[in-house]
Amino acid sequence: MGKTEVPMQPKRVIVLDTAPLDTAIALGIKPVGSIVPERFPDYLGDRTQGIEVIGKTNEPNLEAVARLQPDLILGNKIGLDRLYRRLTEIAPTVMAEGSGRSGEWKDNVRFYATALDRSAAADKLLQDYQQRADTLKQQIQQQFSKSPVVSVMATGSGQIGAYTTRSFSGAVLQDLGLARPPAQASGQRWAIQVSREDLTSLDGDAIFLIVSSFTPNSLTLDQFKSDPLFSRLNAVKQGRVYAVDAEVWTAGRSILAANQILQEVSQSLLARKPGS
């Protein structure tokens, strides 16, 4: 949002999104305050204990922010640029251009790490992630005769969506060299809406079904597999539909969530041999 002077080794950091929260924790910094969608993501475990909730998504309580006396505020422009001036009156504020939902999560990790004076540590985390991804990629290639086609989809509010290669989870799957259905591998959007009947956009050798307890009418894994239409999908017939958490696959958008995706892909695709 312009030039901002930030303190060396900030001590009282406030984060206004899950991505900088994930990043800060990964870098060994526990924020004093954070906004949350509904609650802290389960995948972060007890590492969020002691962090004060200062509002919900894109709605920070500015009085609560000021009361915590932060020396640095981290967020992104999406939905929060309108508050930038008021936030800078409280503490130096650094906002990433995007939230990471469009696949730019690694750039944001480096960006937040620079503001936190932890660039070297971030580089190490990303190197370790890439090494882990490369190893898993080789394991998948060894187990499958050709790269399995992986679909990533979600349901809720009477709609069906699919996440593309331009999404956060899509970027992680690209690091694994996993093929995607054509409709999920083209275009500029991070997510697409599809009809129930457009099965070719949804099907693959495996489906990662993003489920959320906060999205109205989000289908559970059992509901999805028993649906008369979805049960016709090849992945359902082969028993290769895996429920994954929206907190990780869509909302995490940083290094800890990316590593969690690697773990879940490994547990799913390598759990048994193809066709078994």
Evaluate if residue 67 carries a pLDDT over 70: yes
Say which residues have a Cβ less than 8 Å from residue 20's Cβ, sequence separation at least 6: 74, 75, 76, 96, 108, 112, 254
Q: Are 95 and 76 in contact (CB under 8 A)?
A: yes
Of the listed ranges 54-63, 173-182, 265-274, the one predicted with least confidence: 265-274
Say which residues have a Cβ less than 8 Å from residue 144's Cβ, sequence separation at least 6: 269, 274
Q: What is the pLDDT of residue 276?
A: 42
Q: What is the pLDDT of residues 183-199, one digit of tens each?
A: 999 778 999 999 888 88
Q: What is the pLDDT of residue 221?
A: 95
- φ/ψ of residue 84, rounded to 5: -55, -50
Reported confidence tier of residue 275, pLDDT bands at 50, 70, 90: very low
Q: What is the pLDDT of residue 198?
A: 87
Q: State the average pLDDT for the chain.
A: 94
Q: What is the pLDDT of residue 188?
A: 80
Q: What is the pLDDT of residue 272?
A: 59
223-232 mean pLDDT: 94
Its pTM stands at: 0.95
Evaluate if residue 210 carries a pLDDT over 90: yes
Structural domains of the chain, with CATH: 13-117 (3.40.50.1980), 132-269 (3.40.50.1980)
